[in-house]
Structure 1
């Protein structure tokens, strides 16, 4: 078979710095084994972008960067990707900002990138496209006659049909998704939503093998819950803890990008309810909330930052003393090594998203724990991770009382129960780590028949209206 080509909005660093986390850890081994190529956006956008990909060779795999002019990048990324798709796919249709030039930029980037990729891929290669920023890429590649196997993985959640319809181009997007050979989602919940979208948009027929028949071809569907390097992250926590003193009082910890999907105000309201109903815990427990900034240029993110700072200040003003600060709020990113130690020394991990594709913080928290004296994970029922991690304390983040009760239960949980819950969670994670995730997806993609000339000819004849019902 030909080489594996990964395509994402962002590429790994050319020098290999920062490979310790995220998607790179998941895919670098597969790329190294097959002499693969990772295509992603250049860190800085250019006023005069090159029409060709810019190649860089790392020791383990090759990187190719695509450039965009600043205005196009703004409308494609901050505009359509993060002001239309991100809120819609996270169920926040009230935050969608529809601008005609946003959708035009989104498709323009896909067309340009497809032309660049089509020049370098081979018939026997495999292309794996990642996430919502690049949904139309397979459609544009097929228009150019690319016959390689093309898979897509959505890292964020997929909402139900009615919410999906809030996207002005929802029918077109559904058609673009159907142009992939393999579609991977995080959860069975999202997979069910996709099947329903295909049924009502493209007259898709669910086949006995779980795939969809659409326009005379079979689109393979699969649930592939993403994970982390479990043993590697655990070792980071063990090594760091050996050099670090534990906190003076039991700690609750939350680590999230500052995003409205993460349920941060709801988390603080639950913590405030806990303190007001359990005064005996005042001065005896603390919450550390780490919330690095993200997409500060989008108004919705300015609002969530203001709300969080107001709540943290109110709680500290209401309950704090000269000796004790109830909420420590850090608005910047911390090194991965430091986070591993902070997780290990935290009695409770608070993961309370309102809607999340997976949430790897939940898995990092479990991996970092001392199995002899583990902490307790409190996990939102709306996180994708809740499908796998039923031994956590599952809560409704919209209910402050539910969050407060879970905090009290976690802090008072006997050691034997904490060990039992952690043991079950860790055992599952160890078997289903990030290597298992990437291998499962690629095995499924490799088993698919490559597109043939006859299908591409029929594809070229299909008008958009017939593709979208």
Structure 2
């Protein structure tokens, strides 16, 4: 994957660590998440470097903790310190109030603040300075996600000439939507500083290529292939490709088989015996389509009396950005709707919606995946949606049914064997719930085997390998 002597340098908004204060001592541990799982083996293998914000202010003795982590894990970390004002303006402000809603087709949620945009530029410059100070000329530099789109351009200004890769983990909007962004040309030019730009889906890649072609007169599309497009920008050729991210499916399977998960799954099933369980698990976010999901489940109960008493929605909402008014309003709406539906349909010994506002520990998460016969994953828009893939990997007896939004990036890969729905179509989603509830075992198993087989072939290690191969190929091409 990497040539000898070549180091991988990963840049992301957050370092892959958790810093905790235990009484008067600070502790550092490895963070969880798909990106860490995917990149840690590669970065360890070539003693690479990961650059990012440590997730805390100057109250923690960051540098000694990072050194301690590096010695234990076999790769180095470099910290980009941020003040509270920068976190507020660059991260909570610009990143989460401008590209996040805009790229998820939520124009009404966007806030366009020049002050926040300037902070975004400054923080991207700071990240680039840390990278440039630590990078060797032979390093492969791979920048992650929407918070750091301008790092490549800042690195070029600082004289960095080696191969730069960038991967966007969220969708890329259509040219018509992108035109709303006051800094659209600056953003596109920033992205064109990279040699390889990776997207989740073919649609995202096309949206980017069409946006660059329409909004920047100096860009010329010089080639379109099945897996990538080539753009000429000045004297450089940039490759834009789509590389659907995935999970470590074998790792999920193995963990789902452990005794602890087995026991937790059995306990959950006993507690809610005699019914099919539908799982929803999402961060509290307006892109996830949670109010529409509750209405669709209510409609399914109206359409098919067989569900009443025999089917429950187990909805876990993971707290997120609890200080932001829109998120608080969303939580209040979910509290109200689940209460209303439960008071309307509940019977002795049966409640239609089990709604939990909390995080699940890893064992409980896997137990939920294993126990629930149906997964209802209906975001209004999603870059990929790895929960859909995790659910399938943990469906060890191939008995699960995946109901998936057609607006999740995962629909491109999983649409043949999942039940695809439009989350805005409450009746259509309700009918899919009824279909899944009555689906014969043979059909369930056939669909789930296809989903799991594809997951094993196209896992996260393949994603990393394909991206790095394309980046190195572009360097030498």
State whether TM-score is above 0.5: yes
2:305 aligned with 1:279: yes
Query: Residue in 1 aligned with 2:410?
Result: 385
Query: Contact 2:17–2:54 (CA<8 Å) still a contact in 1?
Result: no
Query: Residue in 1 aligned with 2:354?
Result: 328
Looking at structure 2, the residues matched to 49 and 205 of structure 1 have their Cα atoms a distance apart, in angstroms, of 49
Looking at structure 2, the residues matched to 299 and 92 of structure 1 have their Cα atoms a distance apart, in angstroms, of 16
Query: Residue in 1 aligned with 2:156?
Result: 142
Structure 1 position 370, deviation (Å): 2.5
Query: Contact 2:220–2:233 (CA<8 Å) still a contact in 1?
Result: yes
What is the 5 A alignment of 1:182-221? 182-203=196-217, 204-208=219-223, 209=225, 210-221=229-240
Structure 2 unaligned spans of 5+:
19-26
Match of 1:117 among 113, 116, 131: 131
Structure 1 position 49, deviation (Å): 12
Query: Residue in 2 aligned with 1:41?
Result: 53
Q: Deviation string for 1:86-137 (max 9, x for gaps)?
A: 1111111111112221001100101112112111111111111100000000
Query: Residue in 2 aligned with 1:262?
Result: 288
Looking at structure 2, the residues matched to 98 and 48 of structure 1 have their Cα atoms a distance apart, in angstroms, of 33
Query: Contact 1:354–1:397 (CA<8 Å) still a contact in 2?
Result: yes
2:74 aligned with 1:60: yes
Query: Contact 2:52–2:127 (CA<8 Å) still a contact in 1?
Result: no
Q: Deviation string for 1:367-419 (max 9, x for gaps)?
A: 11133x51100000000000000210001110111111001110111111111
2:172 aligned with 1:168: no
Structure 1 position 306, deviation (Å): 1.8
Looking at structure 2, the residues matched to 237 and 75 of structure 1 have their Cα atoms a distance apart, in angstroms, of 40
Looking at structure 2, the residues matched to 17 and 254 of structure 1 have their Cα atoms a distance apart, in angstroms, of 29
Alignment RMSD, CA only? 2.1
Q: SS of the residue aligned with 1:383? A: coil
TM-score, normalisation: structure 2: 0.90
Query: Residue in 2 aligned with 1:467?
Result: none
Q: SS of the residue aligned with 1:206? A: strand
Q: Deviation string for 1:396-455 (max 9, x for gaps)?
A: 11011111100111011111111110111111000000111111111111122289xxxx
Query: Residue in 1 aligned with 2:263?
Result: 243
Looking at structure 2, the residues matched to 241 and 54 of structure 1 have their Cα atoms a distance apart, in angstroms, of 32
Match of 1:12 among 10, 16, 32: 16
Q: Deviation string for 1:301-327 (max 9, x for gaps)?
A: 222212211211111111113422211
Aligned positions, number: 449
Task: Pick closer, same or farther for the CA change 1:441–1:308 going to 2, 3 Å.
Answer: same
Query: Residue in 2 aligned with 1:311?
Result: 337
Structure 1 position 19, deviation (Å): 4.5
Match of 1:293 among 309, 319, 324: 319
Q: SS of the residue aligned with 1:242? A: helix
Match of 2:40 among 19, 23, 28: 28
Q: SS of the residue aligned with 1:98? A: coil
Q: SS of the residue aligned with 2:257? A: helix
Query: Residue in 2 aligned with 1:418?
Result: 444
Query: Residue in 2 aligned with 1:466?
Result: none
Query: Residue in 1 aligned with 2:24?
Result: none
Structure 1 unaligned spans of 5+:
452-469
Query: Residue in 2 aligned with 1:341?
Result: 367
2:7 aligned with 1:3: yes
Query: Contact 2:57–2:81 (CA<8 Å) still a contact in 1?
Result: yes
Looking at structure 1, the residues matched to 10 and 371 of structure 2 have their Cα atoms a distance apart, in angstroms, of 36
